[in-house]
Amino acid sequence: TKQDYEKAAAYLDSADTDITSQYFGVAKGKNVILVNLESTQQFVIGRKVKGEEITPFMNSLIEDSFYFDQIYHQTAQGKTSDAEFMFDQSFYPLASGSVYVRRPENEYIAMPEILAKSGYQSASFHGNVGSFWNREKAYDAFGYDRFFSKDAYQVSDENSVNYGIKDEAFLNQSMPYLEDLKQPFYSKFLLLTNHFPFLLDEEDVLLDEADTGLEVVDRYFQTVRYEDEALKEFFSELKRSGLYENSIIVLIGDHYGISENYYDGIASYLDEDLSVPQELDLQQVPLIIHVPGQEGETFHSPGGQIDIQPTILHLLGVDTADYPNFGQDLLALERDPFVVFRDGDFVTEEVIYTAQLCYDKASTKQTNMNRCSPYFEKRNKELYYSDAILNGDLLRFAD
Ligand code: GP9
Ligand code: MN
């Protein structure tokens, strides 16, 4: 009911989701190119295998970009679709299933619709079939103008592996479509090659195999290295086309690639046993935002995927105070970081709550529960109101 919506809206008004930063509006009118880095985890950034960097391109990009080294994925069963949903709507994913599949008929106030008010066109690009994760229907609900899916690409045996067209061919073939879009645009690219079980053709292997004792982990470093190379080529194409200077480019990982079944491989690679809070920190994904004309800066505060939408909108100079969202502007230094996971775990600047225990964030040692318990109520409200809005289709009552 309308009353239910008003309760949720009152909660969102009281939560500090509207704080902006000194960067508000620095990218006003620029295009947005968001690249979803399939299964890419933060721990590969800056690391090496057999003396070679796993992500040489991203490592160099970080030098002149905003880089966030403590961003957690908050996805649940909806995997990529949960991540996308957070980027666009800044709500929590559902406890089970994907919003894309379960709630495509809902009313939303998502990034494409918000940006349309500033004259933006929106497009999503993805090499898999358009029906996967019910994207065709969900994108209609979110207000996308265009969806370039498998049918829009020339896919052959040579240019495919695993789930479909390889990232290099995908990004390459996307360029003419991107250049044809009316500017300014909001565009989203969903990569595919770095997906379990991490397969590559021989010619795409650019990194020696690690020897962690688990082949899945060994191959993972190689597919991430391939993805990094595909990004490098994409960036040169963006420069060639002139879009680079007119766009903010957001690179973000969607969720883990290495599941807990293979943690032994990561432990062997890192050469240490993984503690419980370290396992939670493995849920961190890279976030790199390149803004033309801005110097590089690294931000160490915790944040989540739910924060992407307000961060981007504020860079574009769009005030989010009138839009229902649960995230915070990651560039706002006075914000109170609070990352809530679908299973009830959470992270603040001081503590990590996971597996029903409280840990000191700095030392990763277990600490007294009374440092975590003050956050329980807010955690519950976050998930409760997000669910209430989604399950009750309450955004139809927003004006
Ligand atoms: C498939 C791609 C990968 O279209 O989104 O799906 P995932 O398994 O990561 O959700
Ligand atoms: Mn994914």
Centre of ligand 1 to C-alpha 79, Å, is 7
Judge whether 311 is annotated as a binding position.
no
Whether 354 sits among the annotated catalytic residues: the reply is: no
Centre of ligand 2 to C-alpha 291, Å, is 25
Closest-lying ligand 1 atom to the alpha carbon of residue 133: 4
* Band of residue 398 on the pLDDT scale cut at 50, 70, 90: very high
Q: For residues 366 and 55, is the Cβ–Cβ distance under 8 A?
A: no
Please give the pLDDT value at position 301: 96
Closest-lying ligand 1 atom to the alpha carbon of residue 135: 4
Contacts of 292 (CB under 8 A, 6+ apart): 27, 30, 244, 245, 246, 247, 248
Average pLDDT over residues 344-370: 97
Average pLDDT over residues 23-36: 98
Average pLDDT over residues 65-89: 98
Please give the pLDDT value at position 122: 98
Average pLDDT over residues 365-373: 98
Percent of the chain with pLDDT over 70: 100
Residue 339 has pLDDT above 90, yes or no: yes
Please give the pLDDT value at position 141: 98
Residue 383 has pLDDT above 80, yes or no: yes
Residue 16 has pLDDT above 80, yes or no: no
Please give the pLDDT value at position 17: 80
* Band of residue 36 on the pLDDT scale cut at 50, 70, 90: very high
Average pLDDT over residues 64-80: 98
> Could you tell me the CA-to-CA distances from 274 to 101, 216, 267, 269, 279 in Å, in that order?
35, 18, 6, 11, 6
Residue 177 beta carbon below 6 angstroms from any ligand 1 atom = no
Residue 345 has pLDDT above 80, yes or no: yes
* Alpha carbons 289 and 119: distance in angstroms, whole number: 22
Please give the pLDDT value at position 277: 94
Q: Is the peptide bond before 337 cis (omega within 30 degrees of 0)?
A: no
Identify the CA nearest to 178 among candidates 114, 235, 134.
235
Centre of ligand 1 to C-alpha 152, Å, is 18
Closest-lying ligand 1 atom to the alpha carbon of residue 126: 4
Nearest ligand to the C-alpha atom of residue 126: 1
Please give the pLDDT value at position 144: 98
* pLDDT tens, position by position, 273-300: 999 999 999 999 999 999 999 999 999 9
Please give the pLDDT value at position 18: 85
Average pLDDT over residues 130-155: 98
* pLDDT tens, position by position, 39-63: 999 999 999 999 999 999 999 999 9
Average pLDDT over residues 201-205: 97
Specify the amino acid at residue 1. Answer: T
337's tokens: 């970081």
Residue 80 beta carbon below 6 angstroms from any ligand 1 atom = yes
Please give the pLDDT value at position 191: 98
Percent of the chain with pLDDT over 90: 97
Residue 351 has pLDDT above 80, yes or no: yes
Please give the pLDDT value at position 224: 98
Residue 135 beta carbon below 6 angstroms from any ligand 1 atom = no
Residue 320 beta carbon below 6 angstroms from any ligand 1 atom = no
Please give the pLDDT value at position 90: 98
| Residue closest by Cα to atom 4 of ligand 1 | 128
Specify the amino acid at residue 363. Answer: S
Catalytic residue among 17, 40, 75, 80: 80
Please give the pLDDT value at position 399: 79
Q: Give every strand in the sheet of 357-360, ordered side by side.
A: 338-340, 346-348, 351-354, 357-360
Please give the pLDDT value at position 84: 98
Chain mean pLDDT for the chain: 97
ipTM over 0.95: yes
Average pLDDT over residues 202-221: 97
Judge whether 290 is annotated as a binding position.
no
Q: How does DSSP assign 91-124, residue by residue?
A: -PPPSSS-HHHH-TTS----HHHHHHTTT-EEEE
